[in-house]
Amino acid sequence: MRKNITGYLYFYIHFIVEIVCFFYLSRVTNNSFIVWVIPFIYDALAFVPQSIIGYISDKYPKINIGIIGVILLFISYIIFGLTSINIYLSLVLLCLGNCCLHIAGAENTLRTSDGRLSPPAIFVAGGSFGVVTGRLLARSTINPLWLLIPIISIIPFIVLADTYRTNKSNTDKFNYVKDNINPYIVVLIAFFVVIIRGYMGYGIPTSWNKTTIQLIIFFFTMGLGKALGGILSDKFGIRRVAILSCLLAIPFLCCGDNLMIVSLIGVMFFSMTMSITLGILVSVLKKTPGLAFGITTIGLYLGTAPIFFIKLNMTINIIIIIVFSIICSCLLGYVLKGDK
């Protein structure tokens, strides 16, 4: 429990951040004109700048990126809650606050994890629970200004997490990649796998997902899978979990369109690669874990961006799932060291 303390602290922080962001998105997209424009802008501004902010955080560790993120979220909600104008200004601030807090979570969990994947995996998992909570909360009549309370509640968790972080980074202990592979090739492979995961996250056949309870279960399972990816990798070996999770997800994702339990098993397996690709990147970018995390978010954006413009039928989606899951499994097996 104590070994994963920063992971649990940032699980809560990530949970609150996604509640705030998806409450906002759900409320403003009631307008049919901006129903897709706002989410597209959000994905671009919340994902892509994380690489830049991560690099800045790596170079200037004394800057408290987390507190800056809280301030940006707070100002965003003041504008959002008190005025009906400048929705795009509040959106930009919201996205930048999201970026800062994601990078703060990545930096803290990676630098205090002793080379284990569990803490960053637990941190990342909090987002799935926050997404569904924010979307459901937006259906209520609650005033947006009430969300200033959970935003402020993040501060003591950031302060406590910072006490576990020392001047010496432990990212040198991330050694999951084979020594004889060019680091640039490793980055490209991990980047490609993240892009595929980003696309598949939206392309998974889930016709069964129609009720509120089913929506909650879906995101709960996704969050559980993200956490298990790191926990099981620490216990049984990252290479074994990476290959098996990709391959085992295939039949469940392809055959679970109308079968909730079958589909959820596939979603859980599919979600496990989140922390694995991060571990691969940090293994070759040891001195810049914030940048490594930012690279994964760019990959997620590139994977999700086509969804706003291209709608593929079920058959094409299933073919993509099968082919690219096998490719990702082979690529991960190629770059990862054998498990001890």
Kindly state the tokens that stand for 29: 């997209």
pLDDT per position as a tens digit, 34-83? 556 778 888 899 999 999 999 999 999 889 999 999 999 999 999 988 87
DSSP reduced 3-state for 177: strand
Tokens of 86: 């400048």
pTM of the model: 0.92
Angle at 100 between CA 94 and CA 102, to 5 degrees: 100
Bridge partners of 336, per DSSP, are: 177
Q: What pLDDT shows up at residue 85?
A: 59
pLDDT at 198: 85
Residue 166 has a pLDDT of 62
Query: What are the φ and ψ backbone dihedral angles of 336, each rounded to 5 degrees?
Result: -85, 140
Asked if 117 and 229 count as a contact pair (C-beta separation under 8 A), the reply is yes
**Pairwise CA distance, residues 43 & 57, whole Å:** 21
Give residue 332's pLDDT: 94
CA 169, chain centre distance (Å): 22
Distance, in Å, from the CA atom of 2 to the CA atom of 13, rounded to the nearest integer, reads 17
- Helix, strand counts (H, E) of the chain: 14, 0
- The distance in angstroms from the start CA to the end CA of the chain is 24
Give the pLDDT score at 154: 96
- With a CB cutoff of 8 Å and minimum separation 6, the contacts of 296 are 190, 191, 194, 277, 278, 281
Residue 270 has what pLDDT? 87
Per-residue pLDDT of the chain (340 residues; tens, 9 = 90+): 556 789 999 999 999 999 999 999 988 876 544 556 778 888 899 999 999 999 999 999 889 999 999 999 999 999 988 875 567 889 999 999 999 999 999 999 999 888 899 999 999 999 999 999 999 999 999 999 999 999 999 999 999 998 887 655 678 889 999 999 999 999 999 999 999 888 887 777 788 888 889 989 999 999 999 999 999 999 999 999 999 999 999 999 888 888 899 989 988 998 898 899 999 999 999 999 999 999 999 999 998 887 777 777 778 888 888 999 999 999 999 999 987 6
Sign of the dihedral through C-alpha 198, 216, 220, 270: negative
Question: Do residues 302 and 208 touch, judged by C-beta distance below 8 A?
Answer: no
Other C-beta atoms lying within 10 Å of the C-beta of residue 208: 17
Q: How far is CA 309 from CA 41, 150, 201, in A?
A: 13, 34, 16
CB atoms within 10 A of CB 318: 19
